[in-house]
Chains A and B, each alone.
Chain A
Amino acid sequence: MNILIQSLPLLIMPAVAAFILLIGAMWRRISGESLLIMAVAGLVAALFFGWQGFLAGTASFPADIIFDKIFYLTVIIIAIALALAMLVSYNYLAERKLPWPEYLALLLFAGFGAGLMAAGTDFIVLFIGLETISIAAYVLAGYTRDGSSKEASIKYFLMGAFASAVLLFGIAFFYGATGSVLLSAAPINKLLMVLALALIISGAAFKVAAFPFQWWTPDVYEGSPLPVTAFFATAVKAAAFIMLFRIVAGISGGLGLKFESLLIALSVATMTFGNLAALFQENIKRMLAYSSIAHAGYMLIAFVVLGKDANLAGAALLFYILAYIVMSMGAFGVLIYLSGGEKEFCNMPDVAGLGRRSPWLAAVFGLFLLSLAGFPPTAGFVAKFYLFKSAMAHGYVLLVIAAVINSLISVYYYMRPVVAMYFGEFQQERSLPKIRYSVAGVLIFCAIFVIILGLAPATILAILSH
């Protein structure tokens, strides 16, 4: 019985998803709003039970799953990200007359997959979670009817299936090295274990879009519908990182020195590639895709620290993920707010003059971009500071210097939309859409969160480092 309550935050998501699917199929005239409210209520319940579980502490139920504090924190973070992604897509879906029940159900199922990726202590559970979230993501990428969305869907599918196969091959070798699929199994054959880890890390690097497996990201992010891109950049990315965290932290004896230098190289290469490629993008959506690659590079720093101090690295990673979710959800939210009718407006000229036309929107967008660049009173700064400090504490000075230089480079491209908004030429041809309350609500929530995380991070840091 207790176990049922403990696993409630995980079970509630597919339950609500199945309910929405059924009610959507049986009662066709039900409005999108009521389904949306149901889905968000389910996520709030998951959040609540997740918090209760967090307070109650660790419980592990068969050998292959564990409900510890990291799991509950992940569920909370994922629930927040999903709820924001749902609210942000309200006008977008309504204006395009896209079906609601499947959209919400797939997002909720993706949340379930993400929860499994955070709870598994066994490669099979992790892999099932990964497949669940990936399949939902492939379908969501092609949710609208236009060609670029379908193209993003097939690209994502091919790359994702390829990555899954590589990861699975690594799991097969892991089984060969240990005789078990449990993460904690001790290797019988060391050499085979090295091979297994190399394959598993490259499979996971695909999923988190780390160099040299990042090239699918810009196309997929650009082609997918905007709210779905926001979901990819936040929830999917967070889940992939948590899974990598579980794997790296759970493997007995850790990764060893060879993999530490590999991770350092991956991290530096990823952030440098992301930042350099983002410099000259004219499409803001694509620029944010490259920026998400760069942020993946920063987050990989936590995995370098992981071998030395798991608690510190875990807290730094979770804080970074939380900060990244609110700020990039906010940035995508602004783009969604601007996109009207059937079209998306994501190019630099589309935001030109926004500072005069709609000062509040411009101010909020500027805040999110500043936060992504890592300016002081925002969440992005604190997250970076905390992450770099943890790396510094364990003597990775060069890595931190590379990361700081990269952050400085990133300032240039984050400032371009800001400059365009305040100094650019006003575009007459298109008027701003009328107020979109749900998107505006998400923007306000994200903005407040960005500032709170930036000004008073102590409480949340204390929770995250349990």
Chain B
Amino acid sequence: MIFYLIAFGIVVTAILTIASRNSVVSALWLVACLFAQAILMVTLEAHLVAAMQVLLYAGAIMVLILFVIMLLNLTPKELKWKFIAGERLILGSGVIYLAGVMGLALWIIYKKGASFVPAAGGGTAGTVEAVGKLLLTKYALPFELVSVTLLVAIVGAILTGRGK
């Protein structure tokens, strides 16, 4: 029951995110959506991930986006929906492909839903200790590699963002 409540909240905020006229409003709905996702993750016993979702995603990234919106001082315009402007046919075929895949996903999930039920499930709470241990042992290498990606992003963002 509580799942459906949260899921409803997530879907509604997600739709409002893409349907808002003003980008600031849109960004705030996205914050709400990510926050609701964090609550969903708590119900899945992923405590560290939920905390990080709030701190990093709903916090840092969204602050960045809001900051840029404020910086650009965008005035809300009349909401116009473009429908796949330009290369309609080719782009459309890609979309149809994706839609097919998504349909397949839903079909599989409904058909095979029962077989997904976890075997044991006990003792998998994503505490800081458990996930942190995994992150620094089994995933130590990707954990280090991500720092290079961050460095590239920093260099790239500074280079693109600075003026003349």
Cβ-defined contact, B156 with A192, below 8 A: no
- Beta-carbon nearest neighbor of B101 in chain A: A198
- A131 contacts which chain B residues (CB < 8 A)? 149
- Beta-carbon nearest neighbor of B90 in chain A: A215
- In this complex, the interface size class of chain B, counting residues with CB under 8 Å from chain A, is 20 to 34
Q: Give the complex CA separation of A202 and B138 in angstroms.
A: 29
Cβ-defined contact, A128 with B146, below 8 A: yes
Tell me the A183-202 residues at the B interface (CB within 8 Å): 189, 191-192, 194-195, 198-199, 202
Q: Give the complex CA separation of A247 and B90 in angstroms.
A: 26
Q: Give the complex CA separation of A116 and B104 in angstroms.
A: 32
- B112, B145, B151, most chain A CB atoms within 10 A: B145
Q: Mark B125-156, 1 if CB is under 8 A from A, else 0.
A: 00000000000001111100110110111011
Check A132 for interface membership: any CB of B closer than 8 A: yes
Looking at the assembled complex, report how far the CB atom of A114 sits from the nearest CB atom of chain B, in whole angstroms: 12
Stretch of A101-109, A228-236, A280-288, A356-364 that contacts chain B: A101-109
Check A330 for interface membership: any CB of B closer than 8 A: no
- B112 contacts which chain A residues (CB < 8 A)? 189, 191-192
Check A391 for interface membership: any CB of B closer than 8 A: no
Check B160 for interface membership: any CB of A closer than 8 A: yes
Looking at the assembled complex, report how far the CB atom of A273 sits from the nearest CB atom of chain B, in whole angstroms: 8
- B contacts with A: majority SS: helix
Tell me the A120-169 residues at the B interface (CB within 8 Å): 122, 124-125, 128-129, 131-132, 135-136, 138-139, 142, 145, 153, 166
Q: Give the complex CA separation of A18 and B151 in angstroms.
A: 9
Residues A139 and B145 in contact in the complex (CB < 8 Å), given A124-B139, A189-B112, A195-B105: no
Looking at the assembled complex, report how far the CB atom of B133 sits from the nearest CB atom of chain A, in whole angstroms: 15
Shortest beta-carbon contacts, A-B, top 8: A139-B156, A212-B93, A212-B94, A109-B152, A124-B142, A191-B108, A132-B149, A102-B159
Binding site for A on B (CB under 8 A): 87, 90-91, 93-94, 97-98, 101, 104-105, 108, 111-112, 115-116, 138-142, 145-146, 148-149, 151-153, 155-156, 159-160, 164
Binding site for B on A (CB under 8 A): 14, 18, 21, 61-65, 99, 102, 105-106, 109, 112-113, 116, 122, 124-125, 128-129, 131-132, 135-136, 138-139, 142, 145, 153, 166, 173, 176, 189, 191-192, 194-195, 198-199, 202, 212-215
- Contacts A109-B151, A122-B142 known; list 7 others, CB within 8 Å: A14-B148, A102-B155, A102-B159, A113-B152, A132-B152, A191-B112, A192-B112
21 interchain pairs (CB within 8 A)? A61-B141, A62-B138, A65-B141, A105-B155, A106-B152, A106-B159, A113-B149, A128-B145, A128-B149, A131-B149, A132-B148, A136-B156, A139-B159, A166-B98, A195-B104, A199-B101, A202-B97, A212-B93, A212-B97, A213-B94, A215-B90
